[in-house]
Amino acid sequence: MPSVANYVVASILCSMGVKMQYVLIIHEVADYEAWKKVFDHAASIRKKAGERIYQVLKYENEPNKIVHFSAWTSIVDARAFFESPELVRIRAEAGVKAPEFIYLDELESGEL
């Protein structure tokens, strides 16, 4: 799980006019533990590709419906990574079923 410090940095950057770019991925996995093992193993390639911080969430009543929310250096980097043949192979290995990718540009960030 990302630290509070990561979000503080993102908030500071945003206040300085640096807007973050995010990817929201929703997908069902055959087995969460098997998926998580592959996900964790891919951390170094995600970082190298431009992922900066992430969260993994699940639907309240559907433990195998996973949401991966992450900040990236750019949408271009994220799209190239997630559409690469290597990632298609990794998703199949992890038991991912029909992922939905939503690419997002930050408009505003704040704390209450």
Per-residue pLDDT of the chain (112 residues; tens, 9 = 90+): 455 555 566 666 656 666 789 999 999 999 999 999 999 999 999 999 999 999 999 999 999 999 999 999 999 999 999 999 999 999 999 999 989 999 999 888 777 8
**Helix spans in the chain (H):** 4-15, 32-41, 43-49, 75-82, 85-94
**Quick one: pLDDT at residue 3?**
54
CATH number at residue 87: 3.30.70.100
69 assigned to some structural domain: yes
10 assigned to some structural domain: yes
Using the Cα atoms of residue 75, residue 106, residue 71 and residue 25 in order, give the sign of their dihedral: negative
Q: How many CA atoms lie within 13 A of 83 on its CB side?
A: 10
- Helices and strands counted in the chain (H then E): 5, 4
44 assigned to some structural domain: yes
Give the max Cα distance, the chain.
Answer: 42
111 assigned to some structural domain: no
**Quick one: pLDDT at residue 37?**
95
- Structural domain range at position 93: 4-105
**Quick one: pLDDT at residue 18?**
62
63 assigned to some structural domain: yes
How many structural domains are present in the chain?
1
110 assigned to some structural domain: no
**Quick one: pLDDT at residue 4?**
56
